[in-house]
Amino acid sequence: MHATIQVNKELRTIDLSRPLDISIPLTDGSKNPLAWYLDKPVIEPVRVDNWVGQVSEGASVNFNTIRFNPHAHGTHTEGVGHISKEFHSVQESLQQFFFTAEVISVTPENFGEDLVVPSAQLKGLLQGKNPEAVIVRTLPNTSAKKSKNYSHTNWPYLHENAAKLLRELSVKHLLIDLPSVDKEKDDGKLLAHKAFWDYPKNPRLDATITEFIYVPNHIGDGSYILNLQTANFVNDATPSRPVLYKLL
Protein backbone atom coordinates (compact mmCIF):
# COMPACT_ATOMS: atom_id res chain seq x y z
CA MET A 1 0.00 0.00 0.00
CA HIS A 2 1.35 3.40 -0.99
CA ALA A 3 0.41 6.87 0.14
CA THR A 4 1.10 10.22 -1.48
CA ILE A 5 2.08 13.07 0.82
CA GLN A 6 3.27 16.63 0.42
CA VAL A 7 6.86 17.28 1.50
CA ASN A 8 8.17 20.83 1.13
CA LYS A 9 5.46 21.62 -1.45
CA GLU A 10 6.40 18.52 -3.43
CA LEU A 11 4.25 15.40 -3.71
CA ARG A 12 6.15 12.30 -2.54
CA THR A 13 5.19 8.65 -2.07
CA ILE A 14 5.76 6.32 0.88
CA ASP A 15 5.24 2.57 1.02
CA LEU A 16 3.05 1.88 4.06
CA SER A 17 3.74 -1.85 3.76
CA ARG A 18 7.42 -1.33 4.68
CA PRO A 19 7.57 0.33 8.11
CA LEU A 20 10.94 0.78 9.78
CA ASP A 21 10.43 0.40 13.52
CA ILE A 22 13.06 2.24 15.60
CA SER A 23 11.60 1.50 19.03
CA ILE A 24 12.91 -0.95 21.62
CA PRO A 25 10.33 -3.47 22.90
CA LEU A 26 9.64 -3.56 26.62
CA THR A 27 10.16 -7.09 27.93
CA ASP A 28 10.07 -8.95 31.20
CA GLY A 29 13.47 -10.53 30.65
CA SER A 30 17.11 -9.57 30.92
CA LYS A 31 17.17 -8.27 27.33
CA ASN A 32 15.44 -5.05 28.34
CA PRO A 33 17.54 -1.86 28.46
CA LEU A 34 17.83 -0.18 31.85
CA ALA A 35 18.75 3.24 33.19
CA TRP A 36 18.41 5.48 36.24
CA TYR A 37 19.37 2.74 38.71
CA LEU A 38 16.09 0.83 38.45
CA ASP A 39 15.64 -2.92 38.15
CA LYS A 40 14.05 -4.49 35.08
CA PRO A 41 10.33 -4.05 34.40
CA VAL A 42 8.00 -6.76 35.66
CA ILE A 43 5.22 -8.39 33.64
CA GLU A 44 3.37 -10.98 35.70
CA PRO A 45 -0.11 -12.51 35.93
CA VAL A 46 -2.61 -11.16 38.44
CA ARG A 47 -3.08 -13.40 41.45
CA VAL A 48 -6.32 -13.22 43.46
CA ASP A 49 -6.75 -15.89 46.15
CA ASN A 50 -6.21 -19.15 44.24
CA TRP A 51 -6.82 -17.63 40.80
CA VAL A 52 -3.84 -16.91 38.53
CA GLY A 53 -4.39 -14.87 35.37
CA GLN A 54 -2.56 -17.21 33.05
CA VAL A 55 -4.06 -19.72 30.63
CA SER A 56 -1.28 -22.22 31.31
CA GLU A 57 -2.33 -22.11 34.98
CA GLY A 58 -5.97 -22.86 34.22
CA ALA A 59 -7.41 -19.37 33.64
CA SER A 60 -9.51 -18.63 30.56
CA VAL A 61 -7.40 -15.56 29.69
CA ASN A 62 -3.91 -14.18 30.18
CA PHE A 63 -4.27 -11.18 32.53
CA ASN A 64 -0.96 -9.49 33.29
CA THR A 65 0.03 -6.50 35.36
CA ILE A 66 2.99 -4.48 34.06
CA ARG A 67 5.22 -2.41 36.34
CA PHE A 68 7.73 -0.14 34.63
CA ASN A 69 9.07 3.39 34.37
CA PRO A 70 8.83 4.98 30.90
CA HIS A 71 12.09 6.92 31.34
CA ALA A 72 14.13 3.94 32.54
CA HIS A 73 12.85 0.94 30.62
CA GLY A 74 12.69 1.65 26.92
CA THR A 75 11.58 3.92 24.11
CA HIS A 76 9.60 6.86 25.44
CA THR A 77 8.49 10.31 24.38
CA GLU A 78 8.40 13.27 26.73
CA GLY A 79 7.24 16.88 26.61
CA VAL A 80 8.29 19.98 28.50
CA GLY A 81 6.22 18.74 31.44
CA HIS A 82 9.17 16.47 32.18
CA ILE A 83 11.11 19.45 33.56
CA SER A 84 8.46 22.11 34.29
CA LYS A 85 6.90 23.07 37.61
CA GLU A 86 3.53 23.18 35.90
CA PHE A 87 1.94 19.90 34.83
CA HIS A 88 1.92 19.34 31.08
CA SER A 89 0.98 15.97 29.69
CA VAL A 90 3.11 14.83 26.78
CA GLN A 91 -0.13 14.38 24.85
CA GLU A 92 -0.51 18.16 24.75
CA SER A 93 2.65 18.25 22.64
CA LEU A 94 1.43 15.73 20.08
CA GLN A 95 -1.60 16.84 18.11
CA GLN A 96 -0.23 15.38 14.86
CA PHE A 97 1.67 12.16 14.34
CA PHE A 98 3.38 12.26 10.93
CA PHE A 99 6.46 14.41 10.38
CA THR A 100 9.29 14.96 7.93
CA ALA A 101 12.41 13.49 9.50
CA GLU A 102 16.13 13.26 8.96
CA VAL A 103 18.23 10.34 10.24
CA ILE A 104 21.82 11.33 11.04
CA SER A 105 24.67 9.23 12.44
CA VAL A 106 26.98 11.04 14.85
CA THR A 107 30.26 10.17 16.51
CA PRO A 108 30.39 11.68 20.02
CA GLU A 109 33.52 13.72 20.66
CA ASN A 110 35.70 14.14 23.73
CA PHE A 111 34.63 16.93 26.06
CA GLY A 112 36.67 16.81 29.23
CA GLU A 113 35.92 13.42 30.78
CA ASP A 114 32.73 13.07 28.75
CA LEU A 115 31.63 12.28 25.22
CA VAL A 116 29.26 14.78 23.62
CA VAL A 117 27.46 15.39 20.36
CA PRO A 118 28.54 18.93 19.36
CA SER A 119 26.49 21.48 17.46
CA ALA A 120 29.04 21.71 14.62
CA GLN A 121 28.62 18.04 13.80
CA LEU A 122 24.82 18.29 13.73
CA LYS A 123 24.95 21.37 11.53
CA GLY A 124 27.28 19.67 9.07
CA LEU A 125 25.19 16.52 8.85
CA LEU A 126 21.88 18.32 8.37
CA GLN A 127 23.36 20.27 5.43
CA GLY A 128 20.87 23.11 5.63
CA LYS A 129 17.80 20.88 5.88
CA ASN A 130 14.95 21.88 8.18
CA PRO A 131 13.03 18.69 9.01
CA GLU A 132 10.29 18.61 11.61
CA ALA A 133 12.08 15.73 13.36
CA VAL A 134 15.74 14.76 13.74
CA ILE A 135 16.72 11.20 14.61
CA VAL A 136 20.19 10.87 16.12
CA ARG A 137 22.01 7.54 15.85
CA THR A 138 25.23 7.48 17.87
CA LEU A 139 28.28 5.55 16.70
CA PRO A 140 29.39 2.88 17.20
CA ASN A 141 25.94 1.39 16.68
CA THR A 142 25.51 -2.17 17.97
CA SER A 143 22.50 -4.24 18.97
CA ALA A 144 23.86 -4.22 22.54
CA LYS A 145 22.05 -0.90 22.93
CA LYS A 146 18.77 -2.83 23.08
CA SER A 147 19.69 -4.61 26.32
CA LYS A 148 22.39 -2.48 27.95
CA ASN A 149 22.28 -1.39 31.58
CA TYR A 150 23.25 2.28 31.30
CA SER A 151 23.23 3.07 35.00
CA HIS A 152 26.56 4.52 36.23
CA THR A 153 28.06 4.51 32.70
CA ASN A 154 28.23 8.27 31.98
CA TRP A 155 26.74 7.81 28.52
CA PRO A 156 27.40 10.33 25.72
CA TYR A 157 25.01 13.25 25.59
CA LEU A 158 23.91 16.20 23.49
CA HIS A 159 25.83 19.42 24.06
CA GLU A 160 23.65 22.32 25.13
CA ASN A 161 24.57 24.23 21.95
CA ALA A 162 23.54 21.27 19.80
CA ALA A 163 20.10 21.24 21.41
CA LYS A 164 19.88 25.00 20.94
CA LEU A 165 20.80 24.62 17.27
CA LEU A 166 17.96 22.16 16.70
CA ARG A 167 15.56 24.57 18.37
CA GLU A 168 16.78 27.43 16.18
CA LEU A 169 16.24 25.21 13.12
CA SER A 170 12.60 24.80 14.26
CA VAL A 171 13.02 21.06 14.82
CA LYS A 172 9.96 20.05 16.85
CA HIS A 173 10.79 16.41 17.59
CA LEU A 174 14.19 15.13 18.66
CA LEU A 175 14.85 11.38 18.84
CA ILE A 176 18.05 9.82 20.19
CA ASP A 177 19.32 6.31 20.97
CA LEU A 178 20.48 7.12 24.52
CA PRO A 179 18.60 7.10 27.85
CA SER A 180 18.72 10.90 27.90
CA VAL A 181 19.84 13.85 25.81
CA ASP A 182 21.62 15.05 28.97
CA LYS A 183 24.55 13.84 31.04
CA GLU A 184 23.68 11.04 33.47
CA LYS A 185 24.86 12.93 36.54
CA ASP A 186 24.69 16.69 35.99
CA ASP A 187 23.34 17.91 39.34
CA GLY A 188 19.96 18.58 37.77
CA LYS A 189 21.18 21.12 35.20
CA LEU A 190 19.39 19.41 32.27
CA LEU A 191 21.06 21.80 29.86
CA ALA A 192 20.07 20.04 26.63
CA HIS A 193 16.45 19.53 27.70
CA LYS A 194 16.15 23.18 28.66
CA ALA A 195 17.86 24.43 25.51
CA PHE A 196 15.67 22.34 23.19
CA TRP A 197 12.42 23.30 24.94
CA ASP A 198 13.59 26.90 25.61
CA TYR A 199 12.63 26.43 29.24
CA PRO A 200 11.80 28.40 31.30
CA LYS A 201 12.08 31.49 29.05
CA ASN A 202 9.62 30.50 26.32
CA PRO A 203 8.56 26.84 26.73
CA ARG A 204 7.86 25.01 23.49
CA LEU A 205 4.74 23.08 24.40
CA ASP A 206 4.52 21.51 20.93
CA ALA A 207 8.01 19.98 20.98
CA THR A 208 8.99 16.48 22.14
CA ILE A 209 12.08 14.46 22.95
CA THR A 210 12.10 10.72 22.36
CA GLU A 211 14.87 8.71 24.04
CA PHE A 212 15.99 5.09 24.09
CA ILE A 213 15.35 4.41 20.40
CA TYR A 214 17.43 2.02 18.32
CA VAL A 215 18.12 2.68 14.62
CA PRO A 216 19.37 -0.54 12.97
CA ASN A 217 22.34 -0.22 10.65
CA HIS A 218 20.29 -1.23 7.59
CA ILE A 219 18.41 2.08 7.92
CA GLY A 220 20.57 4.60 6.11
CA ASP A 221 21.03 8.25 6.94
CA GLY A 222 18.67 10.48 5.01
CA SER A 223 15.12 11.75 4.71
CA TYR A 224 12.06 9.85 5.92
CA ILE A 225 8.53 10.30 7.12
CA LEU A 226 8.19 9.65 10.85
CA ASN A 227 5.05 8.26 12.45
CA LEU A 228 5.44 8.98 16.16
CA GLN A 229 3.07 6.56 17.88
CA THR A 230 2.49 6.94 21.63
CA ALA A 231 0.46 5.29 24.34
CA ASN A 232 -2.17 7.77 25.53
CA PHE A 233 -0.79 8.29 29.05
CA VAL A 234 -1.62 11.55 30.84
CA ASN A 235 1.91 11.95 32.14
CA ASP A 236 5.12 13.87 31.44
CA ALA A 237 6.29 10.89 29.36
CA THR A 238 4.77 7.89 27.66
CA PRO A 239 5.99 4.68 26.02
CA SER A 240 6.25 5.25 22.29
CA ARG A 241 6.85 3.50 19.00
CA PRO A 242 8.45 5.73 16.36
CA VAL A 243 8.18 4.23 12.87
CA LEU A 244 9.94 5.51 9.75
CA TYR A 245 8.83 5.33 6.12
CA LYS A 246 11.32 5.85 3.32
CA LEU A 247 10.45 8.43 0.71
CA LEU A 248 10.18 6.90 -2.77
pLDDT digits (tens, 9 = 90+) for 180-221: 999 999 999 999 999 999 999 999 999 999 999 999 999 999
The 10s digit of each residue's pLDDT in 62-84 is 999 999 999 999 999 999 999 99
Which domains are delineated in the chain? 2-40+70-246 (3.50.30.50)
Q: Given this model, what pLDDT does residue 1 score? A: 82
pLDDT tens profile 142-159: 999 999 999 999 999 999
For 120-143, the pLDDT digits (tens) are 999 999 999 999 999 999 999 999
The Cα–Cα gap between 181 and 116 comes to 10
For the segment 231-244, the average pLDDT, to the nearest whole number, is 98
Q: Give DSSP secondary structure letters for the chain.
A: -EEEEEETTEEEEEETTS-EE------SSTTS-B-TT----EEEE-EETTEES-GGGT-SS--EEEE--TTTSS-EEE-GGGT-SS---GGGG-S--EEEEEEEEE--EEETTEEEE-HHHHHHHHTT---SEEEEEESS--GGGGT-B-TTS---EE-HHHHHHHHHTT--EEEESSS-SS-SSSTT--HHHHHHHTTTTS--TT-EEEES----TTS-SEEEEEEEEE---SSSEEEEEEEEEEB-
pTM of the entire structure? Answer: 0.96
- Nearest by Cα to 228 from 183, 172, 157: 172
